[in-house]
Protein backbone atom coordinates (compact mmCIF):
# COMPACT_ATOMS: atom_id res chain seq x y z
CA UNK A 1 0.00 0.00 0.00
CA UNK A 2 1.41 3.38 -1.01
CA UNK A 3 1.46 6.23 1.53
CA UNK A 4 1.66 9.82 0.29
CA UNK A 5 2.99 8.50 -2.98
CA UNK A 6 5.75 6.51 -1.27
CA UNK A 7 6.02 2.77 -1.80
CA UNK A 8 6.77 1.33 1.66
CA UNK A 9 9.66 -1.07 2.09
CA UNK A 10 9.01 -4.33 3.92
CA UNK A 11 12.47 -5.17 5.24
CA UNK A 12 13.36 -8.79 6.00
CA UNK A 13 13.97 -9.01 9.74
CA UNK A 14 15.64 -11.57 11.97
CA UNK A 15 15.25 -11.39 15.75
CA UNK A 16 17.93 -12.92 17.98
CA UNK A 17 18.39 -13.28 21.74
CA UNK A 18 21.59 -13.59 23.75
CA UNK A 19 22.06 -13.32 27.55
CA UNK A 20 18.77 -11.78 28.71
CA UNK A 21 15.26 -12.51 29.94
CA UNK A 22 13.82 -12.10 26.39
CA UNK A 23 11.43 -9.46 27.69
CA UNK A 24 12.28 -7.04 24.88
CA UNK A 25 11.53 -9.45 22.03
CA UNK A 26 8.32 -10.46 23.77
CA UNK A 27 7.31 -6.81 23.57
CA UNK A 28 7.31 -7.23 19.79
CA UNK A 29 4.57 -9.84 20.09
CA UNK A 30 2.56 -7.84 22.65
CA UNK A 31 0.02 -5.07 22.13
CA UNK A 32 -2.31 -7.16 20.02
CA UNK A 33 -4.27 -4.19 18.68
CA UNK A 34 -1.25 -3.13 16.59
CA UNK A 35 0.44 -6.50 16.10
CA UNK A 36 -1.16 -7.13 12.71
CA UNK A 37 -0.14 -3.82 11.11
CA UNK A 38 3.30 -4.12 12.75
CA UNK A 39 3.93 -7.52 11.18
CA UNK A 40 2.57 -6.29 7.84
CA UNK A 41 5.25 -3.57 7.82
CA UNK A 42 8.09 -6.11 7.98
CA UNK A 43 8.90 -9.62 6.74
CA UNK A 44 9.84 -11.85 9.67
CA UNK A 45 12.31 -14.52 8.53
CA UNK A 46 13.75 -15.54 11.91
CA UNK A 47 11.97 -14.98 15.22
CA UNK A 48 11.90 -17.94 17.59
CA UNK A 49 9.14 -16.56 19.85
CA UNK A 50 6.54 -16.37 17.07
CA UNK A 51 7.63 -18.74 14.31
CA UNK A 52 9.43 -22.06 13.83
CA UNK A 53 10.86 -20.88 10.50
CA UNK A 54 14.55 -19.99 10.60
CA UNK A 55 15.52 -18.09 7.47
CA UNK A 56 18.97 -16.63 6.97
CA UNK A 57 18.13 -14.02 4.34
CA UNK A 58 17.38 -11.20 6.78
CA UNK A 59 18.45 -7.62 6.01
CA UNK A 60 17.87 -6.24 9.51
CA UNK A 61 18.93 -8.07 12.65
CA UNK A 62 17.30 -7.12 15.95
CA UNK A 63 19.67 -8.33 18.66
CA UNK A 64 18.55 -8.57 22.27
CA UNK A 65 20.73 -9.32 25.28
CA UNK A 66 24.31 -8.84 26.42
CA UNK A 67 27.26 -11.01 25.40
CA UNK A 68 28.54 -13.26 28.17
CA UNK A 69 30.31 -16.22 26.50
CA UNK A 70 32.79 -16.87 23.69
CA UNK A 71 30.24 -18.85 21.66
CA UNK A 72 27.92 -15.84 21.78
CA UNK A 73 30.70 -13.70 20.32
CA UNK A 74 31.05 -16.02 17.33
CA UNK A 75 27.27 -16.23 16.81
CA UNK A 76 26.93 -12.44 16.98
CA UNK A 77 29.69 -11.97 14.39
CA UNK A 78 27.89 -14.31 12.02
CA UNK A 79 24.67 -12.30 12.43
CA UNK A 80 26.58 -9.07 11.81
CA UNK A 81 28.12 -10.48 8.61
CA UNK A 82 24.66 -11.35 7.25
CA UNK A 83 22.75 -8.21 8.28
CA UNK A 84 22.84 -4.95 6.37
CA UNK A 85 21.59 -3.22 9.51
CA UNK A 86 22.10 -4.45 13.07
CA UNK A 87 19.91 -3.03 15.83
CA UNK A 88 20.81 -3.41 19.51
CA UNK A 89 17.42 -3.97 21.11
CA UNK A 90 16.95 -3.12 24.77
CA UNK A 91 19.18 -2.09 27.62
CA UNK A 92 21.09 -5.38 27.91
CA UNK A 93 22.14 -5.15 24.27
CA UNK A 94 22.82 -1.40 24.36
CA UNK A 95 24.63 -1.06 27.70
CA UNK A 96 25.09 -4.57 29.12
CA UNK A 97 22.11 -4.18 31.43
CA UNK A 98 21.69 -5.75 34.84
CA UNK A 99 23.99 -8.55 33.72
CA UNK A 100 26.95 -6.21 34.23
CA UNK A 101 26.38 -6.47 37.97
CA UNK A 102 28.00 -9.91 37.74
CA UNK A 103 31.31 -8.34 36.79
CA UNK A 104 32.04 -7.13 40.32
CA UNK A 105 33.03 -10.78 40.83
CA UNK A 106 35.58 -12.81 38.91
CA UNK A 107 34.08 -15.42 36.54
CA UNK A 108 35.20 -18.13 38.96
CA UNK A 109 33.59 -16.45 41.97
CA UNK A 110 30.38 -15.73 40.06
CA UNK A 111 30.21 -19.38 39.07
CA UNK A 112 30.72 -20.55 42.65
CA UNK A 113 28.02 -18.23 44.01
CA UNK A 114 25.39 -19.09 41.40
CA UNK A 115 26.12 -22.67 40.40
CA UNK A 116 28.18 -24.12 43.24
CA UNK A 117 30.21 -27.04 41.92
CA UNK A 118 28.19 -27.11 38.64
CA UNK A 119 30.24 -24.42 36.91
CA UNK A 120 29.23 -22.85 33.58
CA UNK A 121 31.21 -20.96 30.98
CA UNK A 122 31.07 -17.23 31.57
CA UNK A 123 33.06 -14.14 30.65
CA UNK A 124 32.92 -10.43 31.45
CA UNK A 125 29.67 -8.93 30.17
CA UNK A 126 29.80 -6.89 26.98
CA UNK A 127 27.21 -4.78 25.20
CA UNK A 128 26.65 -5.63 21.54
CA UNK A 129 28.59 -2.58 20.32
CA UNK A 130 31.64 -3.78 22.25
CA UNK A 131 31.80 -6.85 19.98
CA UNK A 132 30.49 -5.75 16.56
CA UNK A 133 29.47 -2.46 14.92
CA UNK A 134 25.88 -1.40 15.69
CA UNK A 135 23.77 0.73 13.35
CA UNK A 136 20.97 1.66 15.76
CA UNK A 137 20.55 1.29 19.52
CA UNK A 138 17.09 1.19 21.09
CA UNK A 139 17.36 1.25 24.90
CA UNK A 140 14.76 0.33 27.50
CA UNK A 141 14.05 -2.47 29.98
CA UNK A 142 11.96 -3.56 28.28
CA UNK A 143 11.86 -1.53 25.08
CA UNK A 144 8.82 0.61 24.36
CA UNK A 145 6.68 -1.14 21.74
CA UNK A 146 5.22 2.23 20.73
CA UNK A 147 8.70 3.64 20.14
CA UNK A 148 9.76 0.61 18.11
CA UNK A 149 6.62 0.82 15.98
CA UNK A 150 7.43 4.45 15.21
CA UNK A 151 10.98 3.52 14.23
CA UNK A 152 9.71 0.75 11.93
CA UNK A 153 7.35 3.24 10.28
CA UNK A 154 10.26 5.59 9.62
CA UNK A 155 12.38 2.76 8.22
CA UNK A 156 9.57 1.51 5.97
CA UNK A 157 8.97 5.00 4.59
CA UNK A 158 12.70 5.83 4.43
CA UNK A 159 12.32 8.76 6.81
CA UNK A 160 14.92 9.88 9.38
CA UNK A 161 14.41 9.03 13.06
CA UNK A 162 15.53 11.08 16.06
CA UNK A 163 15.43 9.88 19.66
CA UNK A 164 14.33 12.47 22.25
CA UNK A 165 17.23 14.34 23.82
CA UNK A 166 15.27 15.68 26.80
CA UNK A 167 14.98 13.80 30.12
CA UNK A 168 12.16 11.62 31.45
CA UNK A 169 11.01 14.50 33.67
CA UNK A 170 9.46 16.14 30.59
CA UNK A 171 7.27 13.10 29.97
CA UNK A 172 6.28 12.99 33.65
CA UNK A 173 5.04 16.57 33.38
CA UNK A 174 3.18 15.72 30.16
CA UNK A 175 1.41 12.92 32.05
CA UNK A 176 0.75 15.13 35.12
CA UNK A 177 2.70 12.63 37.23
CA UNK A 178 3.60 13.81 40.72
CA UNK A 179 7.39 14.05 41.07
CA UNK A 180 8.86 10.98 42.77
CA UNK A 181 11.16 13.20 44.85
CA UNK A 182 8.04 14.81 46.32
CA UNK A 183 6.97 11.29 47.32
CA UNK A 184 10.29 10.66 49.04
CA UNK A 185 11.70 8.40 46.32
CA UNK A 186 15.03 8.52 44.55
CA UNK A 187 14.53 8.99 40.80
CA UNK A 188 16.92 9.23 37.84
CA UNK A 189 14.31 10.99 35.70
CA UNK A 190 16.29 14.28 35.58
CA UNK A 191 19.25 12.45 33.98
CA UNK A 192 17.62 9.75 31.86
CA UNK A 193 16.75 9.96 28.16
CA UNK A 194 13.02 10.17 27.48
CA UNK A 195 11.07 8.18 24.90
CA UNK A 196 9.45 5.58 27.16
CA UNK A 197 6.51 7.82 28.18
CA UNK A 198 7.65 7.55 31.83
CA UNK A 199 5.66 4.44 32.85
CA UNK A 200 7.64 3.79 36.03
CA UNK A 201 6.98 7.15 37.74
CA UNK A 202 3.37 7.00 36.54
CA UNK A 203 3.13 3.65 38.34
CA UNK A 204 4.69 5.03 41.53
CA UNK A 205 8.29 3.89 41.02
CA UNK A 206 11.25 6.25 40.66
CA UNK A 207 13.17 5.98 37.39
CA UNK A 208 16.15 3.57 37.39
CA UNK A 209 17.73 4.96 34.23
CA UNK A 210 17.34 1.96 31.91
CA UNK A 211 17.46 4.22 28.82
CA UNK A 212 20.79 5.79 29.68
CA UNK A 213 21.61 9.49 29.87
CA UNK A 214 19.72 12.31 28.19
CA UNK A 215 21.69 14.80 26.13
CA UNK A 216 23.89 16.95 28.40
CA UNK A 217 22.37 15.86 31.72
CA UNK A 218 22.89 18.37 34.52
CA UNK A 219 24.75 16.18 37.01
CA UNK A 220 25.69 19.10 39.26
CA UNK A 221 22.07 20.15 39.78
CA UNK A 222 21.01 16.52 40.21
CA UNK A 223 23.70 15.96 42.86
CA UNK A 224 22.46 19.05 44.70
CA UNK A 225 18.86 17.84 44.44
CA UNK A 226 19.51 14.37 45.86
CA UNK A 227 21.63 15.85 48.65
CA UNK A 228 18.77 18.19 49.64
CA UNK A 229 16.39 15.23 49.62
CA UNK A 230 18.66 13.24 51.94
CA UNK A 231 19.92 10.53 49.58
CA UNK A 232 23.52 9.37 50.02
CA UNK A 233 26.12 9.22 47.28
CA UNK A 234 26.20 5.43 47.70
CA UNK A 235 22.46 5.20 47.03
CA UNK A 236 22.82 7.29 43.89
CA UNK A 237 25.81 5.32 42.61
CA UNK A 238 24.01 2.05 43.25
CA UNK A 239 21.12 3.14 41.07
CA UNK A 240 23.29 4.68 38.35
CA UNK A 241 25.21 1.42 37.98
CA UNK A 242 22.18 -0.88 37.94
CA UNK A 243 21.61 -0.98 34.18
CA UNK A 244 25.12 -0.08 33.05
CA UNK A 245 23.99 2.95 31.06
CA UNK A 246 25.59 5.66 33.16
CA UNK A 247 29.27 6.24 33.89
CA UNK A 248 29.93 5.61 37.55
CA UNK A 249 32.90 6.40 39.72
CA UNK A 250 36.00 4.67 38.36
CA UNK A 251 34.40 3.76 35.03
CA UNK A 252 34.51 5.09 31.51
CA UNK A 253 31.46 6.66 29.90
CA UNK A 254 29.48 4.38 27.58
CA UNK A 255 27.67 5.56 24.42
* pLDDT score at 69: 93
Residues of the chain with pLDDT under 70: 1-8, 248-255
Long-range CB contacts (within 8 A, 24+) of 4-11 = 6/157, 6/158, 8/41, 8/156, 8/157, 9/155, 9/156, 9/157, 9/158, 10/40, 10/41, 10/42, 10/43, 10/156, 11/42, 11/43, 11/59, 11/60, 11/85, 11/155, 11/156
* pLDDT score at 250: 40
* pLDDT score at 29: 84
* pLDDT score at 50: 85
* pLDDT score at 66: 98
* Residues 46-81: tens digit of each pLDDT: 998 888 888 999 999 999 999 999 999 999 999 999
* pLDDT score at 236: 96
Domains in the chain with CATH codes = 12-156 (3.40.50.700), 168-240 (no CATH)
Amino acid sequence: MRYLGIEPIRPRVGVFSFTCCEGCVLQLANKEETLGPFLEAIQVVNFREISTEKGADYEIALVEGSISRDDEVERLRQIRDQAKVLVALGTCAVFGGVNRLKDVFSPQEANRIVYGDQSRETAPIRAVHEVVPVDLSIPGCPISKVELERIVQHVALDLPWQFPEYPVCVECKQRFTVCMFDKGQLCLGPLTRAGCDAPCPAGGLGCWGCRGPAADPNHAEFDALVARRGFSRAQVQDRLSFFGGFPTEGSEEKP
